[in-house]
Amino acid sequence: IKKPQVLKRWIMATGRSNWQPSTASRVCNLHFKSSDFIDTPNMTQKILKNDTIPTI
């Protein structure tokens, strides 16, 4: 996450204030709404829309 304000919102959304994500960090797709993903019917990998924040 390159934007500091988006990174801060991700950290707040995880509920883990001491979490510092690395390039290897991942959040399960179950923590996002289906509308948070780009519609890619022929791809098996889901792609998040820009500036999406985990909500579930």
pLDDT digits (tens, 9 = 90+) for 6-23: 889 989 988 887 888 888
Which residue has better confidence, 5 or 40? 5
At 37, the pLDDT band (50, 70, 90 cuts) reads very high
pLDDT at 1 over 80: no
What is the C-alpha separation between 5 and 25, in angstroms, rounded? 18
What is the C-alpha separation between 32 and 29, in angstroms, rounded? 6
What residue type is assigned to position 28 of the chain? C
